[in-house]
Amino acid sequence: MFRYFKREEFDCKETGENEMSDRFLSLLDDLRHRCAFPFVINSGFRSVKHSKEVVKDEPGMHTKGEAADIRVSGGRQRYLLVENAMECGFTGIGVGKTFIHVDLRGNQLMMWGY
C-alpha cells in the first residue's frame, strides 16, 4: 500500500496500538520520496495511555494518528525534511536536534523548535 513504510513501524511503543490515518501515511510516503533518504520513525501512533500523553491537558496529534517524529542526521536532512514537509501539506512541523515532528493539525502552518 505504501512505498516506503509498513504500518507496524508506527505502532505505539507502549501499548502496540496503531490507528494511523491512511491520509497521513500517504503524505508521509510522498515526503519520504521527495527527500530521497531513508526515514527512521522515532514515534508514530501513541495511545492516550502512553506516558507522554497522560501528562498532557489534551491528547496530542500522535493520538489522532496524524503525527510522526522522524530521526534526522545533520542540518541538510533537517532542511530537506522541513522544506518538503511544507510542500507536501503538513501543517505542524517541530524541529529538534535529532528529529523532525510532522503532523496535520489544521489549515494554517505552525512551526516550532524543541
Segment 20-53, tens digit of pLDDT: 999 999 999 999 999 999 999 999 999 999 999 9
Neighbours of 34 (CB within 10 A): 14
> Which positions ≥6 away from 76 have C-beta within 8 Å?
none
Alpha carbon of 60 to those of 33, 52, 101, 104: distances in Å? 26, 9, 12, 11
Place of cell 514515534: 43
Q: Provide the pLDDT confidence category of residue 1 given band limits of 50, 70 and 90.
A: confident
pLDDT digits (tens, 9 = 90+) for 59-70: 999 999 999 999
pLDDT at 4: 96
Portion of the chain with pLDDT greater than 70, in percent: 100
pLDDT at 36: 97
